[in-house]
Amino acid sequence: MSSQIKTGLLLGLLTVIILLFGRMIGGHSGLVVAFVLALVMNVGSYWFSDRIILAMYRAQEISPDDAPYLHGIVSELARKANIPKPRIYLIPQDTPNAFATGRNPNHGVVAVTHGILNLLSPEELKGVLAHEIGHIRNRDILIQTVAATLAGAIMFVADMVKWTAIFGLGRSDDEEGGNPIVALVMAIVAPIAAMLIQMAISRSREYLADETGAYLAGNPEFLASALEKLEAYARSMPIYGANPATAHMFIVNPLTGESLLSLFSTHPPTSERVRRLREMAYTIRS
C-alpha cells in the first residue's frame, strides 16, 4: 500500500472515531466545541511552527556567503523538486540531525546541525537534504497538523464522554440511552488509538520522504548510508534539550534513537528504512 493511500485511510479512521464520539455525547454541540478548540490550537501551531521550533533549538539562518556548498545542494534539489528554495538554518548541536519545517513550500525551511556537516560525506548530506526537501514538497507539515487536530479533538471529547458516562450527563429523557460502561471504555481507549494512528501517519510520511528524497538525490544509497550513521550517533548522543513534541520532525529520533516499541514511535525503524532504500537502489540498477 502506498504511503499516500495509507495516510488517507488513517486520517479517515481518526474522523470515524470523532463521529462515534458525537453519537455518544447525545448530539454534536460538544463535538463541535472540542473540534474548534483543537483546530485553533493546531492551526496556531501550524502557522507559527517554523518560528517556534527554530527558536527552541537556537537555530540561526545562514547565507550563501556563509555556506555556499550547502546552499548549492539545496538550490539544486529544490529545482528538481519544483519548489522555491527553502531557507537554511544551522543548529548549534554536535549531534548529527536535521529537520524541515514551514507551513507550505513557499515558507520552507531546512535546518541542519553542526554535527551532521562534520559527519556525513557530500553524497550522504545530499541524501539527507533531499529527504527534508521531500517533506516540504509533500506538504507533510500540513498533513501532520490535520492529524494533530483530529487527534486533539478526540482527546477533548474523550474527557467529555468520560464525565458524561460517570455522572450520566448530556442526555435528556427523550434521547436514546447509551451504555455508560461502553462510553467510559471508549473514552479511555480512543485517545490511545488516536495517538497510535497519529504516530502511524508520521511513520508513513517518513517512508514517503525517504522515497522522494532518494529520487531527488539520484541515488537511494546516499540516504541509506546517512541514516545508518545518524542512527548510531542518535543512540549514544541524543540532541541536548530535545523536546518530545518535536521529535517527529527530525530525520532520526533526536531523543533515544530507534524505539523498542515501534507502534509508539514517531519514526519507522531505521533498519527498515535502510532496507527499503537499498531495495530501491537494487531495482534502479537492475
Q: How many angstroms separate the CA atoms of 272 and 286, rounded?
A: 21
- DSSP, residue by residue, 29-51: HHHHHHHHHHHHHHHHHHHHHHH
User: 250 phi and psi, to 5 degrees?
Assistant: -80, 160
Residue 132 catalytic? Answer: yes
The residue type found at 214 is A
Q: How many angstroms separate the CA atoms of 260 and 12, rounded?
A: 28
Q: Are strands 87-91 and 109-113 parallel, antiparallel or unpaired?
A: parallel
Q: Which residue reads 527530525 in cell numbers?
A: 250
Q: Per the structure block, which three cell numbers stand in for 160? A: 467529555
| Inter-CA distances, 171 with 1, 36, 158, 165, 190, Å | 42, 22, 16, 10, 21
Q: Are strands 60-61 and 87-91 parallel, antiparallel or unpaired?
A: antiparallel
For residue 178, give every residue at least 6 positions away whose Cβ sits within 8 Å of its Cβ, in sequence order, or none: 24, 26, 171
Q: How many angstroms separate the CA atoms of 283 and 277, rounded?
A: 10
Closest CA relative to residue 49, chosen from 134, 112, 122, 108: 108
The DSSP output letter for 99 is E
Q: Decide if 210 contacts 204 (C-beta within 8 A).
A: no
From 132, 211, 231, 258, the catalytic residue = 132
- What's the angle, vertex CA 94, arms to CA 214 and CA 122, rounded to 5? 35
Instruction: Point out the residues that are catalytic.
Output: 132
